[in-house]
Amino acid sequence: MAGQKADEIRLNLGCGGRPLPGYINVDMDTLAELKERYPGQNFPEGVEVRQLDIFHLPFADGTVDEVRADSLVEHLSFLDEPKFFHEVRRVLKPGGLFQFATPDFEETLKAWLAAKDEWKDFFRNDPDAIAQNHWFGNYSYSTQNRWGYLMAMIFGGQNGPGQFHKNAYTIPKIRAILKRLEFEEVETSHFLWKGARDKMIQVKARKRK
């Protein structure tokens, strides 16, 4: 990774189908399982994915340079949420970078309320349904119907054990968490997941020295 020192430790927690070169990629699934789950995804050559306990990371206090967690925190239960954030703070060096992204729950609810209330079909996750973007009979990622992909934006895709959303975030909540844990907010912005889907909050923060 350009600009990275050889002794730097960068973690990519809950990497899913997005393992990154130059990071210690961590997920509940193995690389082989991730490739099977995301058959159309390009995985960088030579990346590894480790199965570590994200609430008890095998790193000493203040030894990690960066922690990434894209689309992870919404999968944490109410009790696991503080464990995770405190563990990130524990392993990061003073000045260490914490980057994470999560759906903007307020924007998702606005979209749900604005959508049509037209239920079409029960959820399916068989191979044909997944290939055709079934999403409760809508056959698209459209957010025009409450009972379609919007359900996955709120509750998760639910195609496996790690695919359920258990928590929610807004920018004010995130800023309150950062303040509680004595992180300095560097940047908070929005982007669309995969360029056209969920409105996501992107956060960059540093552990105060």
Map out the domains of the chain with their CATH numbers. Answer: 10-104+169-207 (3.40.50.150), 107-155 (no CATH)
Q: How confident is the model at residue 36 (pLDDT cuts 50, 70, 90)?
A: confident
Separation of CA 39 from chain center: 19
The residue that leads in pLDDT, 77 or 1, is 77
Instruction: Calculate what percentage of the chain has a pLDDT beyond 70.
Output: 97
Q: Which residues contact 25 (CB under 8 A, 6 or more apart)?
A: 12, 15, 19, 47, 48, 49, 50
Which amino acid is located at 176 in the chain? A
Mean pLDDT, the chain, integer: 94
Q: How confident is the model at residue 159 (pLDDT cuts 50, 70, 90)?
A: confident
Residue 38: the pLDDT is: 82
Q: How confident is the model at residue 5 (pLDDT cuts 50, 70, 90)?
A: low
Residue 54: pLDDT over 80 = yes
Q: Distance (Å, rounded) from C-alpha 166 to C-alpha 48?
A: 27
Average pLDDT over residues 32-36: 90
Residue 81: the pLDDT is: 98
Instruction: Calculate what percentage of the chain has a pLDDT beyond 90.
Output: 83
Q: Distance (Å, rounded) from C-alpha 123 to C-alpha 139?
A: 11
Residue 3: pLDDT over 80 = no
Q: How confident is the model at residue 128 (pLDDT cuts 50, 70, 90)?
A: very high
Query: Model pTM?
Result: 0.91
Residue 198: pLDDT over 60 = yes
- pLDDT digit string, tens, across residues 64-111: 999 999 999 999 999 999 999 999 999 999 999 999 999 999 999 999
Q: How confident is the model at residue 137 (pLDDT cuts 50, 70, 90)?
A: very high
The residue that leads in pLDDT, 79 or 40, is 79
DSSP 8-state assignment for residue 97: E
Average pLDDT over residues 164-178: 98
Residue 60 CB neighbour total at 10 angstroms:
9
Question: Token pair for residue 124?
Answer: 């399916």
